[in-house]
Structure 1
Amino acid sequence: MSTLYVAHAQPGHSGDYSCGIGLHDAHRLRVLPLSPPGGILSRRDSQQDCHHLTPNKSLEISCELSSTGRSVTWYKDDVALHQGQRERYVFGPGRLVIQDARISDAGTYTCLGSGGAGVSVSVAAPIAIEPMPAFQKARVNKSFSILCNIDTEPRPRVSWFLGDSPLTPSDRLILSPGKNGVENAKLTILHVTPQDRNTDRLASQVSTQLLVSVLAITTNEEHKGQGITIDPSEPFVLSCDSGQASVPVKWEKEGDGPIAEDDPRLKVLENKTTWSLTIDKPTPKDAGKYKCTAGADSAEIDAFFKLAATLSERQSTAPSAWVEGKEAYIAVAIVGYPNKFTLTWTKDDRPLKVDDRVTTQKFEEVEDAMIRFKPLTTEDAGKYVCLVDNGKEHVEFEHTVEVKGKYAALLPFIGICVEVAVLCAIVYVVEKKALGDAMRAPVSAVSASELPHEEAEEAAGHAGEEPGQEVPPAPEGQEDEHAAANAPPHEAAAEPAPPQEAADAPPHAPADVPPHAQ
């Protein structure tokens, strides 16, 4: 406990005293006028203690005047306290006990002897200060207020600091009562300027601070200074709020100059104090640093492009062409901004081994974006992964390779040849079977003009035989002719009928005898 001794105290010594370094221990001390002769306070009677009450707990205040048997009267804020006035106040020899203390019990307590001597002690309640946000924006040429919410008894004094220096009120910096009527708890800044950017701090029993940042133009960045990433699948929007409806905003892009408003892909819209720039179907060329200017103020926005890595089918070898002994490529097309890329290749989760046969090359202005295999071996088969990093984000590209053997390309040709051979064999067998069936079938009727004259006569003779008449066997060598003669009518050739004379010829005339000799 700190003890303060005041020798030969005078009323001019009254005021706020602190038991610590800051104002959090401050308490008010009042020095009463000298008492009549015989009632002079001793040095010990002027001892002052720092009393801080704790809600719902008891607080004891000592007064040595009463401990000496003197009759004393207790006062709170210059109002006399009487026994039984409050149930929580207990008067005892040399002390005052406040039971179940409350915030309202804070104040200045004085024990005054009958001769005018006395001791005055301040009892302070804990001060509750609502912390202010660490950061707050203010608009140029607008009014801006900072409120310090303090709840305590007795009412504290509030001091403001600008940075580390005490704040001096002026026509633009106005102090006024805040919540609960606490003096100087509200700071108002009129006609804010960029020079007002600073840290304002207030002090009472505890300190809190607020960084006042004046931003003439605010952007639609999620986090100030971290930029915006362009997604090629949707329109890209930039916006700047100047805070002043009468001040137009002009856009420009670093390296390209002012934005052309007649560009069909661009749209510049105004909504009160906010101006927006919309780019339909953005491309990597739209990435970069943009600047919006409103009067004398400006703000910059970094526009990044979403990083992507895909297979370049135009430069990469087709899967069917990965044949042992040939040359092959894997090319990666990379887009994004920032456009400084770092590539790391792996094969089957291990770092890619680069040598005279397997090399990396530049592709589309990106180093190591292409792998060249010359010649291919079966060991080159596997999963290739490329990790791409541009400092802003990173992506992975994956490509699986299958390498065929040297003679693998002949397999389709051999298969075709086998199919053709099988087809030809089937055709040959079918045709051969059809020809055999035709040869075993009955011989078609032959026209009469093609038979010998004797056979024609014999056929005619047989035609004239009576039904049931036995036909003698034909001579040897004539069985075929006889069979042909006995063929059914529908198998006979459509030839003219033989002459009548032939029909009268003997049925069994010798084959070597002319007809006129019979």
Structure 2
Amino acid sequence: MQRPSLKIILSLLLLTPAVLSEINVDLNYDEDLRAQQSKRFDVKSHFQIKCSVTGDDSVDAKWHKGSTEVKPSERVSTSKQGTVFSLNVKHATEEDAGNYECVVFKDDSEVKRANITLVSKVYVKMVANLNFVEGEAIKMVCQVVGSPTVTWMVGNETYDESRDRVLLEKDPESNVENTMLVIKEAQMSDRTEYKCMATNAYGDTADGTTMVRIKDKYAALWPFLGICAEVFVLCAIILIYEKKRNKTELEESDTDQSPDQKNTPDHGKDSSNLRHRQ
């Protein structure tokens, strides 16, 4: 078992309760969330946590998320200005939410720590319009950010769980309960507005609305039937026209005689001469 070094022992002896009480740590909480020691951030944006230490100018600080020290990366960096220690995060994701600690050291010994909870702001994204065919399943997904609690409003009815024909399920992509709404067989009466409402534990809310329209299941046949009717009428007109034209030509051919069949004076003379010679 390793014994503590003389330097650490001396530093611990020097840090009397009176000295420790003079060191204060404050973080940049949101004013309305100061009681919860929390701060909001926007997904895909940059955010910064500041740890301000007063009472001793010779201290240093490190950042922890949970029980793990935060290491610098392409997105994450730390900075120091006097006794203000900052954690900077670029292109924030939902995974950046959680509990953080500013751990203050003096002469390699921890003297103070302060907590801050980062909370992602709530966002809701919905498709503006959706069309379904009568008898088919209605399925829509409410995309949410901020790990909120989700409820739905269908027309004037509010649903926080599955009821009657409306089924609320977990979207496998977001893994948030009630973010998928399913109605197994669409009816014409299902044509209405569907609102997804999200609320987190800090009272932040957001909502999105989709207008659902239901088409008649035979609607696709009407254009085809209309084309068939047009073709039928056109064929009937052509058939009637051809029949009348043929009839007219036949009547004209019966009334008109050929020039070879007409009796002319010369034709009569030839016949009489033939009888006279006989």
TM-score, normalised with respect to structure 2: 0.65
Who is 1:326 aligned against? 136
Cα displacement (A) at 1:297: 1.2
C-alpha separation in 2, matches of 1:238 and 1:350: 42
C-alpha separation in 1, matches of 2:179 and 2:85: 40
**Counterpart AA for 1:403:** I
Q: Which has the larger radius of gyration?
A: 1
**Counterpart AA for 2:149:** T
**Contact 1:216–1:298, Cα closer than 8 Å, also in 2:** no
In angstroms, what is the RMSD of aligned CA positions?
3.1
For the residue of structure 2 that corresponds to 1:403, the secondary structure is strand
For the residue of structure 2 that corresponds to 1:319, the secondary structure is strand
Who is 2:98 aligned against? 288
Q: Is 1:228 aligned to 2:35, yes or no?
A: no
Who is 1:369 aligned against? 179
Cα displacement (A) at 1:266: 0.8
**Counterpart AA for 1:360:** L
How many pairs are equivalent? 209
Structure 1 residues 272 and 228 mapped into 2: Cα distance closer, same or farther (>3 Å)? same
Cα displacement (A) at 1:245: 4.3
For the residue of structure 2 that corresponds to 1:376, the secondary structure is coil
C-alpha separation in 1, matches of 2:125 and 2:177: 15
What is the 5 A alignment of 1:94-113? none
Who is 1:217 aligned against? 25
What is the 5 A alignment of 1:48-447? 193-195=19-21, 216-223=24-31, 224-225=34-35, 226-243=37-54, 244-254=56-66, 257-261=68-72, 263-295=73-105, 296-311=111-126, 319-320=130-131, 322-336=132-146, 339=147, 341-352=148-159, 355=163, 357-363=165-171, 364-392=174-202, 393-414=204-225, 421=231
Query: In proportion to residue count, which structure has more helix?
Result: 2
Cα displacement (A) at 1:230: 0.5
Larger RCO: 1 or 2 (CA < 8 Å, sep 6+): 2
Moved >3 Å (runs of 4+): 191-195, 222-226, 243-246, 352-357, 411-419
For the residue of structure 1 that corresponds to 2:219, the secondary structure is helix
C-alpha separation in 2, matches of 1:251 and 1:302: 13
For the residue of structure 2 that corresponds to 1:285, the secondary structure is helix
Cα displacement (A) at 1:412: 4.6
**Contact 2:30–2:40, Cα closer than 8 Å, also in 1:** no
Cα displacement (A) at 1:326: 0.7
Query: In proportion to residue count, which structure has more strand?
Result: 2
> Deviation per CA, 1:161-193, whole angstroms, max 9, x where unpaired?
xxxxxxxxxxxxxxxxxxxxxxxxxxxxxx964
> Deviation per CA, 1:100-144, whole angstroms, max 9, x where unpaired?
xxxxxxxxxxxxxxxxxxxxxxxxxxxxxxxxxxxxxxxxxxxxx
**Contact 1:383–1:399, Cα closer than 8 Å, also in 2:** yes
Cα displacement (A) at 1:194: 4.8
**Counterpart AA for 2:65:** K
> Deviation per CA, 1:452-505, whole angstroms, max 9, x where unpaired?
xxxxxxxxxxxxxxxxxxxxxxxx77xxxxxxxxxxxxxxxxxxxxxxxxxxxx
Structure 1 residues 415 and 298 mapped into 2: Cα distance closer, same or farther (>3 Å)? farther
Instruction: Work out the percentage of aligned pairs sharing the same amino acid.
Output: 27
